[in-house]
């Protein structure tokens, strides 16, 4: 291959290194108004009254909207392609501004002013009265008997969704254990149980979440946003406002990272609403770093109550896990991450008798959890690999050997039909072990004394590409030949810093034969002109969009 497989310099390198590249906030017009969100100071309760009279007197204030002024429409925010089946649609559980407060910092009002200082001064003067309920920020508190259901219109308690996965329908851990005792004898078995936990964390993408919006002379609301999902954002804005999709336009310039936080629709619908409320004037809504960390999305904190059984010879017999994730105040990506987490925990190892993994997504009065790099699998890997090593420690097994013998095997087919075609997990382990000098170090570090101790450890994973077959995978690409024999490549797949623009250019060049310097990829996605794609997530773009660009498809069409 000529271009694919080569380390071309990123097509956006120069602009980004010199600072010339334009991000959302670099494009804001001079007369743009600035907005600031007013947030709740309680975690659970209801706004009973908002007094904006003092705030309105601040010089420079243009408009203040409250949770009582927004359309009574609940909408979903997840960066998922829409489903035409009602049962699979993302749960619509929030409005543009919320009177029912379910997290500290929930969005209850917004101030629009001529500059950010005026907006901040006014925001501090907005007076709010609450009816306060007990906060239930932890999984345990939210599941305790008598805990207030946070979304009674959707769920009767705080279990958002509970799914149960088993390697076979009749598998039961206790029965498997009995079987093992009969087959091997109790003294020849190793069992480990424990509760393992992972934290809630933030993506900390370098560019904050920010957008600006205006209504053009033809009545179309345009939102320029740092988003991973321009087309989905457009659809959600239309749902949130009750506007037809054709009257909404979203533009994504360069963005400074997302890692999944921007794979949700965040402040864009509110931004659009504020512009409309100000007669179509340009309004910028930039979230501060602190707001990004605590009031956008986070990685799900998870708790795994796990058990595992093995023989004294190092054969993994059975495991089970009850995994709880802290969903926070709203659904966002729904149960998808928990489901993926539980399935992955089950699938990464091969249990001779079987494995059961139950997943519970739990609503709590805390920050909303959503998509973050690897979508539930970092938690799954922590659970699976920690349990594995604890079994090895108890049984005296070498963790590398144990994994070689008990990990997911070649030819694995998942319950939804996805097949592990090109399998090299064991080869990967072998290479890693060689590099780290595993065998030597396991011996060398065996009997240490003193305050400083050394150790070697390992972790493994498997990860599917994109979201098929759980969800729709679709992407379009368009190429246009210029008068000088160069081509424009338009995708709606988004460059979020991962290098998508560069590899798509390479693919286009590879298939058409047109050299890289004659391939122009349009980095800005504008829903008015870019073809449809669901966005940058699930490590899907080079896989899914790549197929639109490559042999047998677009580039070949162009070649013919």
Partner 1 sequence: MIWQNNICEKIHTQPKTKTCVRPEGTQEKPAEQNARKLAFGGAYIDNSQNDGSAGESVKYSAWLDGAVKEYDIHDLPNGEAAILRDTGVEKDIIPGKVLLSMKDLAMNAFYSLDRSEHITAEVTNHCKENTFASGCCFVDLEVDMPLGKVKINNIINVHDSGTLLNPKLAEAQVHGGMSMGIGYALTEELLYNEKGRPLNANLLDFKIPTAMDCPDYHVEFLEMDDPMGPYGNKALGEPPAIPVAPAIRNAILHATGVSMKEIPMTQQKLVAAFKEAGLI
Partner 2 sequence: MFDIEHYFEAKSVEEAVRLLSEHEDAEIICGGTDVLVKLRDGKGAGGSLVSIHEIPSLRGVRVLPDATLEIGPATCFTDLTNHPLIQKYLPYLGEAVDTVGGPQVRNQGTIGGNICNGATSADSAATMQTLNAVVVLVGPGGVRRVPVTEFYTGPGRTVRQHDEVCRAFEIKPEDYVGFTGCYMKYGKRAAMEIATLGCCVRVRLDDACSRIEETRIGYGVAAPTPIRCRNTEAALAGKSVEDESIYELIGTSVLDEVNPRSSWRASREFRLQLISELAKRALKEAIRRSLNHEAPGAAVPGEERR
Instruction: Give the footprint of partner 1 on residues 73-112 (CB under 8 A).
Output: 103-105
Contact call for residue 482 and partner 1 (CB under 8 A):
yes
Contact call for residue 410 and partner 1 (CB under 8 A):
no
Contact region with partner 1 (CB under 8 A), list: 28-36, 82-90, 218-226, 438-446 = 438-446
- Between CA 558 and CA 99 the distance in angstroms is 54
Q: Which does 544 bind (CB under 5 to 8 A by kind): partner 2, partner 1, none?
A: partner 1
Contact call for residue 115 and partner 2 (CB under 8 A):
yes
- Between CA 133 and CA 136 the distance in angstroms is 9
| Distance in Å from the first CA to the final CA of the chain | 20
Nearest to 348 by CA among 408, 415, 422: 408
- Between CA 283 and CA 113 the distance in angstroms is 9
Nearest to 456 by CA among 437, 473, 472: 437
For 86-145, strand residue ranges (E) read: 100-101, 107-113, 127-132
> Which ranges constitute the DSSP H helices of 278-411?
289-295, 336-347, 377-395, 399-406
Are the C-beta atoms of 556 and 46 separated by less than 8 Å? no
Contact call for residue 120 and partner 2 (CB under 8 A):
yes
Contact call for residue 358 and partner 2 (CB under 8 A):
no
Which residue from 56, 89, 114, 116 is in contact with partner 2, where contact means CB under 8 A?
Answer: 116
**Beta-sheet pairing, 316-328 with 301-311:** antiparallel
Contact call for residue 31 and partner 1 (CB under 8 A):
no
Which residue from 62, 96, 503, 530 is in contact with partner 1, where contact means CB under 8 A?
Answer: 503
Contact call for residue 121 and partner 2 (CB under 8 A):
yes
Q: Which is nearer to partner 2, 289 or 431 (CB)?
A: 289
Which residue from 158, 271, 298, 494 is in contact with partner 1, where contact means CB under 8 A?
Answer: 298
Which residue from 143, 154, 432, 520 is in contact with partner 1, where contact means CB under 8 A?
Answer: 432
Query: What DSSP designation does 158 have?
Result: S
Site map 253..292 versus partner 1, x via CB under 8 A: ------x-----------------------------xx--
Other beta carbons within 10 Å of 178: 11
Contact call for residue 488 and partner 2 (CB under 8 A):
no
Kindly state the number of chain residues that form the binding site for partner 1, as judged by CB under 8 A. 139
List CB contacts of 528: < 8 A, sequence separation 6 or more.
249
Which residue from 117, 245, 428, 559 is in contact with partner 2, where contact means CB under 8 A?
Answer: 117
- Between CA 227 and CA 218 the distance in angstroms is 24
Which residue from 167, 202, 311, 524 is in contact with partner 1, where contact means CB under 8 A?
Answer: 202
Which residue from 194, 219, 242, 246 is in contact with partner 1, where contact means CB under 8 A?
Answer: 194
Contact call for residue 540 and partner 1 (CB under 8 A):
yes
Q: Which is nearer to partner 2, 60 or 531 (CB)?
A: 60
Nearest to 205 by CA among 237, 234, 228: 228
List CB contacts of 186: < 8 A, sequence separation 6 or more.
none
Collapse the DSSP code of 504 into the 3-class scheme (helix H, G, I; strand E, B; otherwise coil) and give the result: helix
- Between CA 249 and CA 393 the distance in angstroms is 57
The dihedral region occupied by 380, where left means phi > 0, alpha psi between -120 and 50, and beta the remainder, is alpha
- Between CA 297 and CA 259 the distance in angstroms is 11
Q: Give min distance, CB of 288 to partner 2, in A.
A: 8
Contact call for residue 220 and partner 1 (CB under 8 A):
no
Q: Which is nearer to partner 2, 120 or 132 (CB)?
A: 120
Site map 69..108 versus partner 2, x via CB under 8 A: ----------------------------------------
Contact call for residue 67 and partner 1 (CB under 8 A):
no
Which residue from 14, 22, 57, 124 is in contact with partner 2, where contact means CB under 8 A?
Answer: 124
Q: Which residues bind partner 2 (CB under 8 A)?
A: 115-117, 120-121, 124
């Amino acid at each position: 291959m000529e271009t694919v497989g080569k380390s071309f310099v990123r097509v956006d390198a120069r602009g980004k290194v010199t600072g010339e590249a334009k991000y959302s906030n670099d494009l804001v017009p001079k007369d743009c108004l600035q907005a600031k969100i007013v947030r709740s100071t309680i975690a659970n309760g209801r706004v009973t009254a908002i007094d904006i009279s003092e705030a309105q007197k601040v010089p420079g204030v243009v408009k203040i909207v409250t949770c009582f002024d927004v359309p009574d429409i609940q909408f979903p925010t997840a960066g998922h392609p829409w489903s035409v089946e009602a049962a699979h649609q993302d749960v619509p559980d929030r409005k543009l501004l919320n009177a029912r407060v379910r997290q500290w910092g929930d969005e209850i009002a917004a101030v629009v002013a001529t500059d950010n200082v005026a907006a901040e001064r006014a925001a501090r003067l907005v007076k709010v009265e609450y009816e306060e309920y007990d906060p239930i920020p932890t999984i345990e508190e939210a599941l305790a008997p008598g805990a207030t259901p946070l979304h009674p219109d959707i769920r009767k308690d705080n279990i958002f969704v509970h799914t149960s996965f088993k390697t076979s329908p009749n598998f039961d851990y206790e029965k498997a254990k009995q079987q093992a005792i009969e087959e091997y004898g109790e003294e020849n078995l190793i069992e480990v149980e424990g509760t393992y936990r992972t934290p809630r964390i933030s993506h900390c993408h370098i560019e904050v979440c920010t957008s600006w919006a205006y209504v053009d002379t033809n009545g179309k609301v345009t939102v320029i946003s740092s988003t991973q999902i321009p087309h989905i954002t457009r659809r959600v804005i239309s749902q949130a406002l009750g506007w037809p999709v054709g009257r909404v336009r979203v533009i994504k310039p360069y963005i400074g990272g997302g890692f999944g936080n921007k794979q949700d629709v965040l402040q864009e619908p509110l931004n659009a609403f504020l512009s409309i409320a100000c007669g179509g004037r340009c309004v910028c809504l930039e979230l501060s770093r602190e707001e990004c960390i605590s009031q956008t999305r986070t990685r799900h904190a998870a708790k795994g109550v796990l058990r595992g059984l093995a023989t004294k010879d190092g054969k993994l017999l059975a495991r089970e896990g009850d995994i709880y994730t802290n969903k926070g105040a709203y659904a966002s990506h729904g149960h998808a991450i928990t489901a993926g987490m539980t399935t992955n925990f089950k699938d990464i190892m091969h249990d001779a008798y079987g494995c059961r993994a139950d997943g519970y997504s739990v609503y709590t009065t805390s920050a909303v959890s959503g998509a973050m790099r690897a979508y539930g699998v970092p938690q799954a890997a922590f659970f699976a690999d920690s349990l594995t090593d604890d079994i090895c420690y108890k049984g005296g097994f070498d963790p590398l050997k144990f994994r070689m013998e008990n990990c997911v095997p070649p030819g694995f087919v998942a319950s939804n039909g996805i097949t592990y075609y090109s399998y090299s997990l064991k080869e990967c382990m072998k290479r890693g072990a060689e590099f780290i000098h595993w065998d030597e170090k396991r011996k060398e570090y065996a009997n240490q004394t003193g305050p400083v101790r050394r150790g070697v450890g390992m972790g493994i994973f498997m990860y599917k590409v994109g979201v098929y077959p759980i969800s729709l995978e679709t992407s379009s690409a368009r190429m246009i030949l210029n008068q000088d024999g160069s081509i424009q490549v338009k995708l709606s797949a988004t460059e979020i810093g991962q290098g998508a623009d560069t590899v798509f250019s390479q693919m286009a060049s590879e298939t058409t034969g047109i050299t890289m310097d004659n391939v122009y990829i349009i980095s800005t996605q504008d829903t008015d002109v870019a073809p449809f794609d669901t966005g940058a997530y699930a490590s899907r773009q080079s896989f899914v969009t790549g197929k639109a660009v490559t042999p047998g498809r677009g580039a070949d069409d162009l070649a013919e």
